[in-house]
Amino acid sequence: MTTDAIQRLAHRATVRKFTDRKVDDELLNTLLEVAAKAPNTGNMQQYSVIVTRSEEGKQRVAPAHFNQPAATGCDVLLTFCVDFNRFEHWCRVNDARPGYNNLQAFLWGVIDTVIFAQQFNTLAELSGLGCCYLGTTTYNAPAISAALELPDRVVPVVTLAVGYPAEEPTESDRLPIESIVHREKYQPSTDAGIRDTYYEKENLAESRRFVEENNKQTLAQVYTDVRYPRDTNEHFSKVYADFIASKGFC
């Protein structure tokens, strides 16, 4: 990778507002084709991507993303799915008996799907496009599946909203890299160490505002009680677990 590309990735940020400029079909196809060169389990490519460009298509799927502005305002929505349908079909017409109705196979699919999606994200950002992941994909997978007519053995995992940026988003913080990288073996943190690790994040103006606006004592409570609370997590876990079971996984 060139130094220029590294510098640009070092300062990348999620884009949530897009201009009306259309993403050229040829560029989109090239980025998808190159992204598919990403590593994947056994080179089986157990993933698919649904490209939604039409207004009707976006309107059909956007409610499942709670009509987030990135979903309604982007040029292209890409829904990346675990796809065993294609591979197992190939097995069936070749007298081969697939044994992929299990967690291990689902994990291959999820890992490969996400690598493919992120490879696309990186290529798109380096090409001047803006992208926003929509985590609502795993919340409302049944509705997304219905809107996109996903068949048996196909499960949506992540969605990317893509378009030309209409904003210069502020770069978001990251934890100090030493707290993430463990040399030779895992180095557990002390209480003082963990406070140091999160010190900068806790003291960002935005974090302080979150704490105040939500009437919480700490930023950690904003995450546990407001942004990602247990009851919501458990509800959507059950929805997704039932859904993947209905698609013939685990």
Rounded to a whole number of angstroms, the minimum distance from the CB of residue 17 to ligand FMN is 11
Antiparallel, parallel or unpaired: β 76-83 and 154-163: antiparallel
- Pick 27 or 114: Cβ nearer ligand FMN: 114
User: In the β-sheet with 47-52, what is the strand arrangement from edge to edge?
Assistant: 47-52, 76-83, 154-163, 130-134
Q: Where are the beta strands (DSSP E) in the chain?
A: 47-52, 76-83, 130-134, 154-163
Number of Cβ within a 10 Å radius of residue 96: 11
- Over the window 168 to 187, marking each residue x when it contacts ligand FMN by CB under 6 A and - when it does not, the resulting string is -x--x---------------
Residue given tokens 């895992």 in the structure block:
186
H-assigned helices in 36-179 = 55-61, 69-73, 85-92, 103-126, 136-139, 141-148
Interacting span for ligand FMN (CB under 6 A) from 80-88, 98-106, 127-135, 185-193: 127-135
The rounded radius of gyration (Å) of the Cα atoms in the chain is 20
- Does the footprint of ligand FMN cover residue 13 (CB under 6 A)? yes
Q: How far apart are CA 88 and CA 199, in angstroms?
A: 50
- Does the footprint of ligand FMN cover residue 41 (CB under 6 A)? no
- Pick 88 or 147: Cβ nearer ligand FMN: 147
Of positions 128, 135, 151, 193, contacts ligand FMN by CB under 6 A: 135
Size of the site for ligand FMN (CB under 6 A): 13
- Over the window 47 to 86, marking each residue x when it contacts ligand FMN by CB under 6 A and - when it does not, the resulting string is ---------------------x-x----------------
Rounded to a whole number of angstroms, the minimum distance from the CB of residue 95 to ligand FMN is 38
Q: Which residues of the chain form contacts with ligand FMN (CB under 6 A)?
A: 13-14, 16, 68, 70, 132-136, 158, 169, 172
